Structure 1
């Protein structure tokens, strides 16, 4: 029996953050290399660099998160003794709530399913961040600041009938 070749590839879908670049200050103190942005399925894969002193809004995850720290250190304000350092892998279940903080700066690779629901310091709703919002925001920041949008993988393209 021959192996099916449903999705023949004439090239590999690969990026390199050193070659393809990043969006500097996608948010204050946050530099993003988009790797995979799938708004249709709610999956986003990013490489992020956080400047020293970065504090992100408290957020609720609607899905799971895998975060691998490659450099520096960071923690969630709610878990001050659980500092993530280079080499740390963190799994976050859907429904988790926390506030990212990096005193000295950090870098890492994240795979996120679903959205972040963001809140201000008084726990008031701010906004929702998902793959589609991130993709749009990165393009807007790149255009507004004259940066080149890095190449990234963007699968799919809407629902349609099979042949």
Structure 2
């Protein structure tokens, strides 16, 4: 069997070296990130996110799956306070999950995570009222606005679609 012809030839690797990129600070208060892939059309967001101690994100409902790997620090869901996620922890979340992300105030330093999210987070306030929808497009807008304020031009992978009819 012969190797297939390459469908998408690349002259370079699609690689983001976070050790060479500038961290976008306070995309949300206490939330710093490196966008890696923001695919608005397919609802995929891949991020390296660093959280400050004491950060609590809004309670949210996931429309798709999440893969979250903790590289350093510690965090947990408010709903599962005894199930701490620490360095080396991998968490899979099925679509339909509802929870509240929290980094303990007692953490010494930043909590460093890598996440692959399909779909959106539907965010709610403490009383269960709808706040907003966080998806790849929203993340991109927030990250770019914070980066612009900081004089950063982030490098990330952004699939570029060119929708058209197969026959005109």
Q: Which range, TM-score by smaller chain?
A: over 0.9
Q: Counterpart of 1:132?
A: 137
Q: Counterpart of 1:70?
A: 71
Residue 123 of structure 2 contacts residue 131 of structure 2 at CA under 8 Å; is this kept in 1?
yes
| Alignment partners' CA distance in 1, 2:8 and 2:139 | 27
Residue 22 of structure 1 contacts residue 149 of structure 1 at CA under 8 Å; is this kept in 2?
no
Partner-residue secondary structure (3-state), 1:19 = coil
| Cα RMSD, aligned residues only | 1.3
| Alignment partners' CA distance in 2, 1:134 and 1:36 | 11
Q: In the alignment, does 2:82 pair up with 1:81?
A: yes
After superposition, what is the alpha-carbon deviation per residue over 1:52-82, rounded to whole angstroms, capped at 9, x for unaligned?
A: 1111100000000000000000000000111
Residue 42 of structure 1 contacts residue 130 of structure 1 at CA under 8 Å; is this kept in 2?
yes
| Alignment partners' CA distance in 1, 2:138 and 2:33 | 14
Partner-residue secondary structure (3-state), 2:19 = helix
Gaps of at least 5 residues in structure 2 are: none
Q: How many residues align?
A: 162
Q: Counterpart of 1:28?
A: 29
After superposition, what is the alpha-carbon deviation per residue over 1:14-47, rounded to whole angstroms, capped at 9, x for unaligned?
A: 0111101221000000001000000000000000
TM-score for both structures, normalised by structure 2? 0.92
Task: Give the CA deviation at 1:2.
Answer: 4.6
TM-score for both structures, normalised by structure 1? 0.95
2:120 maps to which of 106, 115, 122:
115
Task: Give the CA deviation at 1:136.
Answer: 1.1
Task: Give the CA deviation at 1:4.
Answer: 1.5
1:151 maps to which of 155, 158, 168:
155
Q: Counterpart of 1:19?
A: 20
Superposed structure 1 runs of 4+ greater than 3 Å apart: none
